[in-house]
Amino acid sequence: MRSAELDDFVERVSERTDIYSVVSQYVTLTQKGGRYWGCCPFHNEKTASFSVSPDKGLFYCFGCGAGGNVFKFLSLIENITYFEAVKLQAQRLGIDLPKKKSSPEQERRRREEKTLLKINELAQDFYHECLIKTARGSVGRKYLAARGITMETIKTFHLGLAPEEWDSLLKKLTRQGYTAPQLESVGLIIKKKSLSGYYDRFRERVMIPIADIFGHVVGFGGRVLTSENEETPKYLNTPETVLFNKRNLLFGLDKSNRAISSAGVAVVVEGYMDAISLFSAGITNVVATLGTAFTPEHAKLILRYARKIIFCYDSDEAGQRATIRALPVVQQTGAEVFVVKIPDGKDPDEFVRKHGKEAFKELIKNAVTLIDYRISYILTNTEHSTIQGKHRALQEILPVIVNVNNPITRDEYCKKIAIELLLDERLVKDEYIKLLKQERSSEPKKEVVVKETKHYGEEDLKIRMATEEILRMAWHEGDILDYVLMLLPPEIFNPYQREIISWLETCLKQERRPNKMSAAEELSEEANLELSRILMNGTDEFGQKEVALFEESLATLRQIVLMKEFYKLSSQAEKYIPDDEMTYNKTVKELIKIKEKVDNLKGNRTK
């Protein structure tokens, strides 16, 4: 149920939002006339067909058909719901969300989550001050400096230091009124096994706050500094909590999303120290997984900002296996997948510290495709000097290229495999064809649906242009709808236009002006897209010229409707000639009347 308070909130956000300012954060726009143009972020294109009209507050892509208002754009680009887009923009503008009525349980959970986020924020500040403002932070500062991490990067990521004391954070936060169970619930402290009480989870570690996409601190990672105990883990993360779920988090995305969107590519590394090191070196379109396998949720997060994903995991055996596991996950999302293999068995952090930013950029530039990487991995990890070994390697490689549809690309891969395995190219192709037949025969039979391709004839084009002109006028002057529908049958409009007309009538009955916000919320996706396209192609100024164009469009449609009726009656009249002269004569009179109406319409249009 919509409320006046919620409507007022949406209106305030809308009034303070400039569509150009929002879209230009994601798309490079160039002004041409009264519009801005760029390459569409929703499909691959080289020629700019994506248009933004600040005056109308609308965007539209003439390539893929995406269109709507600023919140529709945000919902598409950020992969969120429409109202989540409104809330996101409100947050960016500093507009508070309206308070909605909640159940006591919902209100309790909301307060609890807010408290837990505050605890993490205070812990972040405590660790950060320990690192940069205290003498005991010197060991952490030296460690980070040795890894090439600048003070600017330390402040950007709010890096910190957990002191070696067993309960320094516990004492600090309990003195501020927070309870031990609360601290335990976010993973900052651990209950003692044999004695009563708690102790700090993170001690003598460089601390890395982990934030969600909105910048809220939801957990921490800690890198040990010194330890005489071999069982002490080098890296330690916050355990799973109500705030922290590694499957749904990518380290650094809150800081790198703009750079990813601008570059059109995300570089994915394994650890947060790799990400921080690259960021410090100037490679800012980077994110890291958090000690877990790459998940579909991770892919969806990245695809909000870029279609191209480059994996840059450690080049040791564990890193290569992790890459192989991650690639199918991303491939299924439709992303463009590439892989960088770090030379000399190094990780990204080591490489960029030794060779610098430009050398790393060169690695990115030469990233290989998913197929090339998998072929290389198989060849490296199989013994293929013998006949049996060659056969095994071939049977592992061929499934990698079985879904390559381009025949030229497929032939090139067959040549490459033949050269690598020292096999006859014809043999490789024969084995490929055999595997392809097996794959196709094992697939379930699919019902073939032939889609009818729509071609606009001259009359169809006239109808489309005229109906759009009438709807543009109806958007601004809703009172004309009764007049239009009195002269024209609903069938002259397409289904989405009929939905728009029905909605405009509802707005008229409710005595409210239609606007882009209510259209986006109340119309179907397809109808709203149709409306956005129609409004983008017209003018907001209605003078004598526009009124004349509306009347001409109405006359055009009226003429088409009458001629269709004329031809229909003509075919009926022919049937009555032999045996029903009375009905025939009556039909002819109707035909004469219709023809007179058509002639009158033609006469009026030529005056």
How do residues 19-28 score in pLDDT, each as one tens digit?
998 998 888 8
CB atoms within 10 A of CB 378: 20
The reported pTM is 0.60
**Could you give the CA distance from residue 143 to residue 227 in angstroms, rounded to a whole number?**
14
DSSP class of residue 343? G
The percent of residues in the chain predicted with pLDDT above 70, rounded, is: 85
> To the nearest whole number, what is the mean pLDDT of the chain?
82
Q: What is the pLDDT of residue 369?
A: 84
Q: What is the CATH number of domain 4-93?
A: 3.90.580.10
Q: What is the pLDDT of residue 456?
A: 41
Q: What is the pLDDT of residue 486?
A: 82
Q: Which residues pair with 339 in a beta bridge?
A: 311, 368
Classify 111-244 by CATH class: alpha beta
The percent of residues in the chain predicted with pLDDT above 90, rounded, is: 25
291, two tokens? 């000690």
CA distance to 311, 332, 391, 498, per residue, from 413 (Å): 22, 22, 17, 52
In sequence order, what are the residues at sequence separation of 6 or more whose Cβ sits closer than 8 angstroms to the Cβ of residue 266? Answer: 256, 260, 285, 286, 287, 302, 305, 306, 308, 309, 310
Backbone angles phi, psi at 223, to 5 degrees: -105, 120
What's the whole-number mean pLDDT along residues 148-175?
94
Evaluate the CA torsion angle 558, 560, 561, 566 in order and state its sign: positive
Q: Which residues pair with 369 in a beta bridge?
A: 338
Whether the predicted pLDDT of 373 surpasses 90: no
Q: Domain-by-domain residue ranges, the chain?
A: 4-93, 111-244, 248-375, 382-440, 458-606
Q: Which residues pair with 31 in a beta bridge?
A: 36
- What CATH architecture does domain 458-606 belong to? Orthogonal Bundle (1.10)
In sequence order, what are the residues at sequence separation of 6 or more whose Cβ sits closer than 8 angstroms to the Cβ of residue 264? Answer: 306, 307, 308
6, two tokens? 């919620």
**Could you give the CA distance from residue 225 to residue 160 in angstroms, rounded to a whole number?**
12
**Could you give the CA distance from residue 147 to residue 131 in angstroms, rounded to a whole number?**
15
Q: What is the pLDDT of residue 263?
A: 84
What's the whole-number mean pLDDT along residues 559-581?
65
Of 83 and 139, the structure prediction assigns the larger pLDDT to 139
Evaluate the CA torsion angle 455, 459, 460, 465 in order and state its sign: positive
CB atoms within 10 A of CB 503: 19
Q: What is the pLDDT of residue 232?
A: 80
H-type helices in 241-386, by residue range?
253-263, 272-280, 296-303, 317-331, 348-355, 357-365, 370-380
Whether the predicted pLDDT of 1 surpasses 50: no
Classify 248-375 by CATH class: alpha beta
